[in-house]
């Protein structure tokens, strides 16, 4: 995997880069790491990387502004926020972070992040296959925003298309739950990666769509988001 580090503190960046390389080697994962001292420099080279470790507090283009640019770009990159601010976790969900790494706990948390990242990069190429109007369709899991029941059909929503299938939502839920998809309502399954925010009665997706969430599902949704990002 190819990783970018973005942090304005050169001493920390040099130490962190070495820790990343050593941890990946320990886990048997092939890894190259590039370091940047500001978001603007890294943004110009985004297409070269598979994941980004991003400091929250940076002068100029902040970590949040850099993350905003990344999620709006054509290439979907896992973002791991590197911070000491525990309270940043919930406010950062709108950036769809892959995870969080607390600077004071790097030695104890880094290995888990690297292993999850390696697994995730393999899984995003995984496809979901289903019948649609007598044709077999395969869609990358990472391209599915949400799935809903509408009338007598099940609709699979991606960024560019809405596909139909007769497969039951209950069956789809069982098949996709381990990949970051969660039942938010009797008629909806949502890809956690695309949840921008969770309101009292609805979920806002990163594309602006507003979907209903059952009151009984609110806690499950929030727990899934924490589990998916590795926050604690």
The pLDDT of residue 91 is: 61
Q: How far apart are CA 167 and CA 146, in angstroms?
A: 14
The pLDDT of residue 228 is: 63
Answer yes or no: do 212 and 181 share one domain. yes
Q: How far apart are CA 3 and CA 35, in angstroms?
A: 9
Name which residue leads in pLDDT, 93 or 165. 165
Task: Assign residue 54 a region (left: φ > 0; alpha: ψ between -120 and 50; beta: otherwise).
Answer: beta
Answer yes or no: do 97 and 151 share one domain. no
Q: SS3 sequence, the chain?
A: CEEEEECCCHHHHHHHHHHHHHHHHHCCCCCEEEEECCHHHHHCCHHHCCEEEEECCCCCCCHHHHHHHHHHCCCCCCEEEEECCCCHHHHCHHHCCCEEEEHHHHHHHHHHHHHHHHHHHHHCCCEEEEEECCEEEEEEHHHEEEEEEECCEEEEEECCCEEEECCCHHHHHHHHHHHCEEEEECCEEEEHHHEEEECCCEEEECCCCEEECCHHHHHHHHHHHHHHHCCC
Q: How confident is the model at residue 232 (pLDDT cuts 50, 70, 90)?
A: very low
Answer yes or no: do 115 and 7 share one domain. yes
Answer yes or no: do 82 and 39 share one domain. yes
Q: Which of 123, 154, 171 is the last residue of a domain?
A: 123
- Please state the domain count of the chain: 2
Answer yes or no: do 110 and 20 share one domain. yes
Q: Residue 220 sits in which domain range?
A: 127-229
**pLDDT per residue as tens digits for the range 171-201:** 999 999 888 899 999 999 999 888 888 888 8
Q: Which of 92, 123, 154 is the last residue of a domain?
A: 123
Residue 158 has pLDDT above 50, yes or no: yes
Q: What is the mean pLDDT of residues 116-122?
A: 88
The pLDDT of residue 222 is: 81
The pLDDT of residue 230 is: 54
Q: By the 8 A CB rule, do 107 and 113 touch?
A: no
Answer yes or no: do 131 and 40 share one domain. no
Answer yes or no: do 91 and 133 share one domain. no
State the sign of the Cα–Cα–Cα–Cα dihedral 43, 121, 166, 153.
Answer: negative
Q: Average model confidence (pLDDT) for the chain?
A: 87
* Domain at 216, CATH number: 2.40.50.1020
The pLDDT of residue 88 is: 62
Q: How far apart are CA 134 and CA 177, in angstroms?
A: 25
Answer yes or no: do 207 and 165 share one domain. yes
Stated pTM of the model: 0.66
Answer yes or no: do 41 and 140 share one domain. no
Task: Identify the CA nearest to 76 among candidates 109, 125, 31.
Answer: 125
**pLDDT per residue as tens digits for the range 37-63:** 988 889 889 889 999 999 887 777 778
Answer yes or no: do 140 and 64 share one domain. no
Answer yes or no: do 206 and 154 share one domain. yes
Q: By the 8 A CB rule, do 7 and 57 touch?
A: no
Answer yes or no: do 98 and 160 share one domain. no
Q: Which of 105, 123, 141 is the last residue of a domain?
A: 123
* Domain at 94, CATH number: 3.40.50.2300
């Amino acid at each position: 995997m190819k990783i970018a580090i973005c942090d304005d503190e050169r001493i920390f960046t040099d130490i962190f880069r070495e820790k990343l390389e050593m941890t990946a080697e320990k886990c048997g994962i092939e890894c190259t790491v590039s370091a940047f001292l500001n978001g603007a420099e890294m943004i110009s080279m985004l297409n070269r990387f598979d994941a980004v470790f991003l400091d929250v507090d940076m002068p100029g283009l902040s970590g949040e502004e850099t993350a905003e640019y990344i999620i709006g770009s054509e290439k979907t990159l896992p973002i791991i926020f590197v911070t000491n601010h525990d309270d940043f976790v919930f406010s950062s969900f709108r950036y769809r972070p892959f995870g969080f790494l607390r600077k004071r706990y790097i030695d104890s948390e880094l290995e888990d992040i690297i292993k999850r990242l390696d697994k995730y990069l393999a899984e995003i190429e995984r496809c979901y296959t289903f019948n649609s109007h007598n044709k077999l369709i395969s869609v990358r899991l990472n391209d599915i925003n949400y799935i809903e029941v509408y009338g007598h059909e099940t609709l699979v929503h991606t960024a560019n298309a809405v596909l139909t299938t007769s497969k039951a939502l209950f069956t789809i839920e069982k098949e996709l739950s381990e990949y970051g998809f969660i039942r938010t309502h009797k008629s909806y399954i949502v890809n956690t990666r695309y949840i921008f925010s969770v309101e009292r009665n609805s979920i806002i997706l990163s594309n602006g769509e507003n979907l209903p969430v059952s009151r009984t599902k609110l806690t499950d949704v929030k727990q899934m988001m924490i589990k998916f990002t590795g926050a604690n």
